[in-house]
Amino acid sequence: MFYSIRMRAELKGDHVSGAERIVRAEELDKVLKALLRRPREYDRMNITIEKIENLLCIPKALPIYSHDFKRIEEAHDFAISLLKREGIREDIALRGLELLKRGPSPKGGNMRGAVLMDIESGERLEPDKERGIRTVRFDWKNRNKIKELLKERGIKRFYLERLLDALALATKNVYCGVIAELCWSDDPEYTTGYVAGRNIGYVRIKPMKEEGNPIGGRIYFVKGEGLENLINCLEGTPLLIEDL
């Protein structure tokens, strides 16, 4: 029997930390304690524990590639070229990029989830444009094993947890039918972003923004048809990933 455990913490009304795991009943105690210790500071924490009925498992994550550039403009040009390789029209890819640069919320700041951008019209399809859509209910079958494999590949500590989460998230997105994804973090210290897709894999790109910039987000490039199924999969389908 598997359980989904999700933790979110707030400080003065702002979301400051979120994490999730899918684990067996006998691991619940240990994982719960680890999630409790995760946020540095908070005044409110919610933990949800949910039994999972139909858990899917896929054998492999997207393959990882990394590219470093001297200038943000070069990194952005490269990101656009990757999106085009995944079949996204240049004007639509640029629209996504501009949205992330400005801050994708209608008020110009960060959202609480991802933008769904129609690959034909460039229209935004997420029902709530301040919230967006969140990919949830995903994890690695053996998180520690994947962490060790990433370390062996030379991934530094600073990047490890984020890469674990973001790679699993991007892999689930492609599984659910997202054509391509463009992302960079809203963490001011974290300037590495990525573009992901079925053909191009998971491509880490640095620097996608200036250090100190608190604006970030995710654009999921999607087909307009089958939107309800896509959202149900992203939010609702529990998925484990077995290996790199």
Can residue 103 be called a binding residue for ligand AMP (CB under 6 A)? Answer: no
Q: Does 186 bind ligand AMP (CB under 6 A)?
A: yes
Give residues 150-169 in contact with ligand COA (rule: CB under 6 A): 162, 165-166, 169
Scanning residues 19 to 38, which ones bind ligand COA (CB under 6 A)? Answer: 19-20
CA distance 210 to 22: 34
Q: Does 192 bind ligand AMP (CB under 6 A)?
A: no
- The stretch among 141-149, 152-160, 182-190, 221-229 that binds ligand AMP (CB under 6 A) is 182-190
Cα separation, 241 vs 59, whole angstroms: 6
Q: Is 216 in the site for ligand AMP (CB under 6 A)?
A: yes
Query: Do 59 and 92 touch, CB atoms closer than 8 A?
Result: no
Give which of 2, 4, 48, 6 is closest to 24, Cα–Cα.
Answer: 2
Q: Which is nearer to ligand COA, 18 or 109 (CB)?
A: 18
Q: What angle do CA 152, 153, 157 make, to 5 degrees?
A: 75
Q: Which of 88/185 has CB closer to ligand AMP?
A: 185
Measuring CA to CA, which residue among 128, 142, 131, 203 is closest to residue 167? 203
Of residues 91-130, those binding ligand COA (CB under 6 A): 112
Asked if residue 191 lies in contact with residue 177, where contact means CB atoms within 8 angstroms, the answer is no
The footprint of ligand AMP (CB under 6 A) covers 110-111, 113-114, 132, 134-136, 185-187, 216-218
